[in-house]
C-alpha cells in the first residue's frame, strides 16, 4: 500500500505535494519522495523514512516548478532499497518522465520477460518500472492514444500519477482496486490517494477518478479518457481500504470511512453481541467500529487503550520482531479502568494473530476479568496480490486454524468475526468490492510467481 499525490498549475507545487504526503503518511512509512517540474527540468528529493523527516525547508526549496508528483512507500513488490524509492524518474529521447504507483500488477513477470527480450534494462525490483519501459517503447504521437496503448498492456491493481510532456497524468485500473481522488486548488488540479489530503492542502474535493479513467492535465485544462471496456468491467474495490487502511476522514469508493467503520461495528454487534461492562476499541481503526458496536447494544464505550502517536502503524512493519515491539510501545491499557471488568475488545482484523495475542496479554495484565474479542471483518484466509502485504497462507492464522483455535491462541474468553454477508451489507457499493482475502476468489488471474522479491531473484 502506498500514497500518491500529483499537482498541476501551482507556483509552489513541491510544497503542496509535501502536505499531501504528510496527510497520506499512514499509507506507507518506508520511504518518501517528491519530483517537481519547472517547464524545463525535473527536481528530485527522495529518501528512506518518513516524509516529515525527509523534507525540510532546504530540500523543499529545491523542488521548483508548477507541477509535482509525490509518493510515500510501503513495499509490496521489491525490498526496502534506495533504488526502489519512488517517484521513478527516467530520461528518454531528450524528455524526462516521472511516475508514482500504488498497487500491484499481476502480469509483471510476463511483461518483464517481454521487455527484457526487446532490450529493456531494469534498474529496480518493482513492478512499477514496467510502466516506464512501456511508455518509452510505445509510439507517442498523440497523448491519449499513447497512454491507452500503454495501460491496456498492464493487468492488476494500479493508481498512478505521472509527469509526461508538460502534463500531469492520473490513471486508475479498470477494476478500481486502489482509490484515486481528484481535487481543485485555485486554477490547478490535484490528484491524491485519499480525499483527506485535500483538507490539509485547503483544496476542494471534486470527485474520485473512475475505474479505467485516465486524466490528462495540462496547465488548468483537464481531459478525461477511458480504457476500452472499462465502463463495463466488473469493479473490485479493495474492501480492506474501508476496514483498515484509509483514514476515517477520507471519502473513497463513494463513502466516508468513519461512517463505514461505525456501520461495520453495528452489524458486528447484531451478529455477535456480548455481555460486558463496556466496549474497548483497539486504536485507531478499531475505535470507530467499537463506537458503532457500543451504540447498537446501548453499552458504554471507553477509550481504555491509549496510543503513542509517535509510533507508526504496526501492521506495515517489515519484520515480526518490529511488529511485536511496536505493539507494546504503541498501545497501553488504562489499568484503573480495566481492572476487574468484563470487556468487549473490538479489532479491525486479525492477520497472523501474534499482534492480537500481545494486545490481549496486555489487557489481561491490566486486570480484565473477562475479554470478549470481536473483529469487524471476516477471517483473513488468503494472500492479497493487489497491493496489501498479506503474507502467505502459511502465516495467515485463519487459513490454518478454526475460530475456536484462534480464540485459544490469542487467549480470549470468546471470539466473533463479522460475516462476509454482514460486511458487504453495510457498504454502499455492495457488489463492487474485492473480498478475495476472505474468500480466496480472485477477480483476476493470479501470477504464477507471487514472491514479493521475484524481480530480485
Task: Find the DSSP H helices in 157-284.
Answer: 196-201, 239-240, 257-271
Dist. CA 13–CA 445, nearest whole Å = 39
- SS3 call for 442: coil
Dist. CA 401–CA 344, nearest whole Å = 22
Dist. CA 264–CA 357, nearest whole Å = 22
Smallest CA-to-CA distance from 423 within 412, 413, 407, 438 is with 438
| Count of CB atoms situated within 10 Å of the CB of 53 | 10
Dist. CA 377–CA 260, nearest whole Å = 12
437 is catalytic: no
Cell readout for 18 is 509535501
Q: Give the β-pairing of 414-417 and 370-375.
A: parallel
The DSSP string of 307-318 is E-TTS--STT-S
Smallest CA-to-CA distance from 306 within 278, 279, 335, 277 is with 335
What 3 state SS string does 23-57 have? HCHHHCCCEEEEEEECCCCEEEEEEECCHHHHCCH
Q: Which of 2, 196, 377, 384 is catalytic?
A: 2
Residue 338 phi/psi, 5-degree rounding, is: -90, -30
Dist. CA 41–CA 189, nearest whole Å = 20
Active site residues: 2
Amino acid at each position: 500500500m502506498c500514497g500518491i499525490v500529483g499537482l498541476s498549475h501551482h507556483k509552489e507545487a513541491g510544497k503542496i505535494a509535501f502536505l499531501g504526503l504528510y496527510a497520506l503518511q499512514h499509507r506507507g512509512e518506508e520511504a518518501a519522495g517528491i519530483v517537481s517540474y519547472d517547464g524545463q527540468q525535473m527536481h528530485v528529493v527522495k529518501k528512506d523514512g518518513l516524509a516529515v523527516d525527509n523534507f525540510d525547508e532546504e530540500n523543499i526549496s529545491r523542488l521548483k516548478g508548477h507541477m509535482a508528483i509525490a509518493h510515500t512507500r510501503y513495499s509490496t513488490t521489491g525490498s526496502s532499497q534506495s533504488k526502489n524509492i519512488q517517484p521513478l524518474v527516467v530520461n528518454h529521447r531528450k524528455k524526462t518522465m516521472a511516475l508514482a504507483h500504488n498497487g500491484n500488477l499481476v502480469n509483471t513477470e510476463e511483461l518483464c520477460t517481454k521487455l527484457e527480450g526487446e532490450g529493456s534494462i531494469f534498474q529496480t525490483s518493482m513492478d512499477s518500472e514496467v510502466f516506464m519501459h512501456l511508455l518509452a517503447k510505445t509510439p507517442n504521437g498523440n497523448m491519449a492514444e499513447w497512454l491507452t496503448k500503454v495501460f491496456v498492456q498492464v493487468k492488476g491493481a494500479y493508481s498512478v500519477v505521472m509527469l509526461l510532456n508538460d502534463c500531469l497524468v492520473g490513471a486508475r485500473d479498470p477494476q478500481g482496486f486502489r482509490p484515486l481522488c481528484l481535487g481543485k486548488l485555485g486554477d490547478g488540479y490535484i490528484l491524491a490517494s485519499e480525499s483527506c489530503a485535500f483538507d490539509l492542502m485547503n483544496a476542494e474535493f471534486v470527485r474520485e477518478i473512475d475505474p479505467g479513467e485516465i486524466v490528462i492535465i495540462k496547465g488548468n485544462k483537464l481531459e478525461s479518457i477511458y480504457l476500452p471496456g472499462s465502463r463495463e468491467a466488473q469493479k473490485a474495490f479493495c474492501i480492506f481500504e474501508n476496514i483498515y487502511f484509509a483514514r476515517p476522514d477520507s471519502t473513497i469508493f463513494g463513502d466516508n470511512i468513519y461512517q463505514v467503520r461505525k456501520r461495520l461495528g453495528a452489524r458486528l454487534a447484531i451478529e455477535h453481541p456480548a455481555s460486558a461492562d463496556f466496549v474497548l476499541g483497539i486504536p485507531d481503526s478499531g475505535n470507530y467500529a467499537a463506537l458503532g458496536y457500543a451504540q447498537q447494544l446501548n453499552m458504554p464505550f471507553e477509550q481504555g487503550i491509549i496510543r503513542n502517536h509517535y509510533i507508526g502503524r504496526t501492521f506495515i512493519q517489515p519484520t515480526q520482531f518490529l511488529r511485536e515491539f511496536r505493539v507494546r510501545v504503541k498501545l497501553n491499557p488504562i489499568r484503573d479502568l480495566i481492572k476487574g471488568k468484563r470487556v468487549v475488545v473490538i479489532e479491525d482484523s486479525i492477520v497472523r494473530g501474534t499482534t492480537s495475542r500481545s494486545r490481549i496479554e496486555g489487557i489481561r495484565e491490566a486486570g480484565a476479568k473477562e475479554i470478549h474479542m470481536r473483529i469487524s471483518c471476516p477471517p483473513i484466509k488468503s494472500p492479497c496480490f493487489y497491493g496489501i502485504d498479506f503474507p502467505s497462507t502459511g502465516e495467515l492464522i485463519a487459513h490454518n486454524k478454526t475460530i475456536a483455535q484462534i480464540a485459544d491462541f490469542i487467549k480470549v474468553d470468546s471470539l466473533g468475526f463479522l460475516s462476509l454477508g454482514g460486511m458487504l451489507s453495510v457498504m454502499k457499493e455492495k457488489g463492487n468490492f474485492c473480498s478475495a482475502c476472505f474468500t480466496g476468489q480472485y477477480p483476476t488471474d493470479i501470477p504464477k510467481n507471487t514472491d514479493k522479491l521475484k524481480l530480485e531473484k
